[in-house]
Amino acid sequence: MIVSMPGRPDLEGGPVSYSVRRAIIDLLRQEDVPWRGELSDVDFLAPVFDLDVMPSHDSRFKTAGQDIWQHRVNNPEDWPDDWIFTDERFNLLGGPDVTFPAFVERLVAPKVRPDRKLASAMVQRMNEELRRTSWTLVERETLAGDIRYRAEPFEPVLLRSLQTMRASAAILSSSWMHQELERIEAAIDTDPALAIGTAKEMVETCCKHIVDALNIPLPANPDMPDLTKAVLKALKLVPEGISDEAKGAETIKRTLSSLGQITKGLAELRKLYGTGHGRSSVHRGLTARHARLAVNSASAFVEFVSSTYLARKTPMPQDKP
């Protein structure tokens, strides 16, 4: 039975190996963690599996939902607590690859596991196994302020880019950057144009925060090149600021010049393929891999600039007069 998580498209990702599934199930058993959490077995499973369609093992009942209720709610001693791991109807060890990540996501849902510390500890342990394959549990914050974990395909490079941009947003105390990051994460696979446009906006927001913090003079309505050039100059990163006598000066100059090229490229990508502009009927957009390129490029710029801003803001003791 293929799962369908409420409010989400069918999960898509790579295979989840038998060894990874077994390791997570063994973890639950060994640490005596009730897989259903604070809910009944039926309430836990209903959002993940269609219990009204799945068959009953008890001839008195038509559906799996009725079967489970009879033997785990009405007569809770009929089946052992870990019955789910050996029931062929759910086949957690050998079923479709989409099923197991959805089950794992459900294990740490807020209603199932309201203790945030316990849920976080479980996520950390399970991710050690999941990331050996092609999945991970990623922390999300709902509008109500709850922490929810989503099962998502694991991409180490993209994950690092998102983590570094989140750290940069914290350095700059930018709630707007956090919102932009949420849009990027939600759109990276489903709406590449939005992800590309927001990656460019992320760089622009980062620069504007530094402009405001350092009182950098700018012309009215500066374009992206002028904005980034002013920020790099204020942070003393522009190539002209490097002495020709410095070791590796030419290499440093070329490397720093590439920062400006990143922002120029993002601006052009956003203009051609991102959101914010109308398109003709023959327009063809870019794909998720292009969105990842834009996001990873934006991350490189934002991380370096924000960390340099932090270093200039808090100089080492030997740098103080």
pLDDT in tens, 52-84: 999 999 999 999 999 999 999 999 999 999 999
Query: Is residue 185 domain-shared with residue 266, that is, in the same domain?
Result: yes
Per-residue pLDDT band at 287 (split at 50, 70, 90): confident
Residue 170 within any structural domain of the chain: yes
Assess if residue 202 is contained within a domain: yes
Instruction: Using alpha carbons, select from 267, 104, 258 the residue that is nearest to residue 201.
Output: 267
Q: Give me Rg for the CA atoms of the chain.
A: 25
User: 133 and 225 share a domain?
Assistant: no
The residues, ordered by sequence, that sit 6+ positions from 247 with a Cβ below 8 Å of its Cβ are none
**Do 170 and 123 fall into the same domain?**
no
Pick from 34-48, 101-115, 150-164, 287-301: least confident = 150-164
Of the candidate ranges 138-147, 184-193, 290-299, the one whose mean pLDDT is the lowest: 138-147
Residue 12 in domain: no
How far is 47 from 83, CA to CA, in rounded Å? 18
pLDDT band at 320 (very low <50, low <70, confident <90, very high): very low
Q: Are residues 211 and 270 in the same domain?
A: yes
The answer to whether residues 194 and 139 belong to one domain is: no
Q: Per-residue pLDDT for 253 more than 80?
A: no
Res. 282 pLDDT band, cuts 50 70 90: very low
Domain edge (last residue) among 154, 186, 203: 154
User: How many structural domains comprise the chain?
Assistant: 2
- Answer yes or no: are the C-beta atoms of 127 and 119 closer than 8 Å: no
Is the pLDDT confidence value at 2 over 70?
no
Q: pLDDT-derived band of residue 32, with 50, 70 and 90 as boundaries?
A: confident
Asked whether 112 and 38 are in contact (CB, 8 A), the reply is: yes
8 Å CB contact between 151 and 135:
yes
Local structure of 148: helix, strand or coil: strand
Query: Both 180 and 140 in a single domain?
Result: no
Average pLDDT score, the chain: 82
Quick one: average pLDDT of 129-137? 84
User: Would you say the pTM of this structure is higher than 0.75?
Assistant: no
Amino acid at 289: R
- Residue 93: inside a domain: yes
- Residue 7 within any structural domain of the chain: no
| Residue 231 belongs to some domain of the structure | yes
Q: Using a pLDDT cut of 90, give the percent of the chain over it.
A: 34
Q: Are residues 188 and 138 in the same domain?
A: no
Residue 151 and residue 135: Cα distance in Å, rounded? Answer: 7
Alpha helical stretches, state H, 80-174: 99-107, 116-130, 156-171
State the angle between helix axes of 224-234 and 192-214 in degrees (0 to 180), rounded to the nearest 10: 40
In a domain, 2, yes or no: no
* Same domain (yes/no): 143, 29: yes
Q: Is 161 exposed, middle or buried (0-12, 13-18, 19+ CB in 10 A)?
A: buried
Handedness of CA 271, 275, 280, 281 (dihedral sign): positive
Domain that holds residue 255: 158-319
Q: Which of 79, 1, 93 is nearest to 45 (CA)?
A: 1
Shared domain for 68 and 131, answered yes or no, is yes
**pLDDT attached to residue 13:** 55
